[in-house]
Structure 1
Amino acid sequence: MNNYSNDNTARRYKAHVSILGTTQVHLRNPYIIAWWSAAFPGFGHMLLSKYVRGYALFIWEVGINLKAHINASMIHSFQGNIDMAKEVLDTRWLLMYIPVYLFGIWDSYRTTVDLNKVYILADREDHLYNTFAMGALEINYLDRRSPINSLFWSFLVPGLGQLLIHRILTAIFVIVATVIFFYYSHAQEAVLLLFLGKVKEATSVLNPEWLLFLPSHYGFSVFDSYMNTIENNKLFEKDLRRYLVMNYQSKRFQIQKGQKVE
């Protein structure tokens, strides 16, 4: 019988490896998670692997933001045109947007605090978890990967870093959103025109409402892939250490406590 299997006999687990990704709980800063929810609703929950909630808030943010013209209002306010910023806002949609936006920040903070408590208990129980998953479509396993590689690929195209560390659900969602944002913002057309020296045309072709989604989207992709690569490496090292102790370390092996030398 394989001793390294998640058989649902423990109250809590630190990790679970499936063909769709490696899900784990670890200590997180609640303020950082809440900040990502403030930067873009849904990102905080995706960092916690709360995918359904994160995707719902993400789609809500894009749809209601565009209907309320919040990004357009922000652009006018950046330019110092406060009157125009107020005028473009659609209050019918804005009043629905604000409560959900605040809920996303509060709920991600609360969930992070709860999951930190769960991790402390799970780490104390230290139950075995599976480290290898094979299915008809995918294979996933714990191993060491370079955080720098995750950064590099995420900088090129958001979502590729998640693919590298096998966060399949997040990777697919981020890549699809990236295509949509680039297409409707005309960012790539603007970059091409900029290379050709046509600065005015590059500026005029941009759709600023869609363009304003991209900075947060890029930042999240980079942070999520980098942070999860590091945490997956820690998980791999803990599992390898346990395996070596259980299979190769003598049962009589003991570490004697040293005495303090005056």
Structure 2
Amino acid sequence: MPSSHQTKPSERYVSAYISAYTINYMHFRNPWVVAWWSAAFPGLGHMMMNRYMIAFILIMWEFAVNYKAGINSAIYYSMTGQFERAIQSADKRWFLFYITAYLFSIWDGYKKAVQLNHDYMLSCADGFTVRSDNLSILERNNLGKRNPLMAILWSFLAPGLGHLYLSRLPSAVIFIVWFAVIIHFSHVLPAIHETMELHFAEAKADLNLHWFLNIPSIYIFVAYDAYVNTVEYNRLFKKEQAAYFKQEYQHAGYDMPL
């Protein structure tokens, strides 16, 4: 018979929420890593912390303003030593507007990561509460062990598939749509086809450099994020199981840490 001696954990600080479409949870994050990803592409740091609305706003801002300012083209020409062409490709009217929100993304990502770590410590001290509403008429989600290498593999084959493997549907939709848009406007698939046929000049002419320079950030981040989430999902699964057995079966006189 289950023991009734354990007190029920408080729900003031919830550690994780399992819905039918994703698992929103807290764990320790290095604020400098969040800031770095925010610098690599505004919005990515917030995606790491499951701050989807802010991330979506920053990603759309990055698409629009970076394109109008010609930032990626200027970066490419600077890296290849074509400094005069880099200066000509940058639109100063949009470039100065770009800087403000870019710095905000880094600062806000760092600040929210620090606050998230504080909230996580409070949630652990409060009893590690997990809320679950994981069933709907369209989807079902559950905690369980998953393979981090499979998450990386599917993410490299097509960004977003690794997050589908993890049942993180909001992230998967954003990454799949994002990747499809960039692949279309960068013309990278025709360029790959022409490269395989050794038509290097045609491949270079087809490639849109501004859109193409977005691809490395997506590939690396999506694989990294899928791997981290898989590892943390597995840890969350163990903690949730330990908390459940402690609450339902462990005698109050035996205090074992999670």
TM-score by length of 1: 0.90
What is the CA-CA distance between 1:214 and the residue it aligns to? 0.5
Is 1:73–1:86's contact at 8 Å kept on the other side of the alignment? yes
- Show the counterpart of 1:149: 150
Q: Give the match for residue 108 of structure 2.
A: 107
> Which residue in 2 is equivalent to 1:193?
194
Tell me the CA shift for residue 127 of structure 1: 4.2
How many angstroms apart in 2 are the aligned matches of 1:166 and 1:177?
18
Aligned pair count reads: 249
Contact 2:16-2:129 at 8 Å conserved across structures: no
Is the Cα–Cα contact under 8 Å of residues 16 and 22 in structure 1 kept in the other structure?
A: yes
* Residue in structure 1 matched with residue 135 of structure 2 by the alignment: 134
Aligned identity (percent) is: 37
1:15-54 counterparts in 2 under 5 A? 15-54=16-55
Q: Which runs of 5+ in 1 are unaligned?
A: 256-262
**Aligned: 1:81 with 2:107:** no
- Which residue in 2 is equivalent to 1:212? 213
- Alpha-carbon distance in structure 2 between the residues aligned to 1:44 and 1:194: 34
Confirm whether residue 227 of structure 1 aligns to residue 228 of structure 2.
yes
For the aligned residue pairs, the C-alpha RMSD in angstroms reads 1.8
* Inter-partner Cα distance in structure 1 for 2:14 and 2:26: 8
- Cα offsets for 1:62-118 (capped at 9, x unmatched): 110010111111111011011111121111111111000000000000000011000
CA contact (8 A) 1:184 1:210 kept: yes
Q: CA deviation at 1:131?
A: 4.4
Alpha-carbon distance between aligned partners in 2 of 1:216 and 1:252, rounded to the nearest angstrom = 51
* 1:191-237 per-position Cα deviation (integer Å, ceiling 9, x unaligned): 11122222221121100000000000111111111101111110001
Q: What letter corresponds to residue 99 of structure 2 in structure 1?
A: I
Q: Which amino acid letter does the alignment assign opposite residue 11 of structure 2?
A: A
Deviation at 1:248, TM superposition (A): 4.5
Deviation at 1:164, TM superposition (A): 0.7
Task: For residue 126 of structure 1, give the secondary structure of its aligned residue in structure 2.
Answer: coil
Alignment match, 1:61: 62
Structure possessing the higher relative contact order (Cα contacts under 8 Å, 6 or more residues apart) = 2
Structure 1's 180 and 254: CA in aligned 2 closer, same or farther, altered over 3 A? Answer: closer
**For 1:249 and 1:117, how far apart are their aligned partners in 2?**
28
Cα–Cα, structure 1 residues 139 and 98, in superposed 2: closer, same or farther, change >3 Å? same
Counterpart Cα distance in 2 of 1:9 and 1:251: 16
Runs (5+) with no aligned partner, structure 2: none
CA contact (8 A) 1:153 1:160 kept: yes
Tell me if structure 1 keeps the 8 A contact 2:21–2:134: no
Per the alignment, residue 168 of structure 2 pairs with 167
Cα distance between partner residues in 2 of 1:23 and 1:234: 14
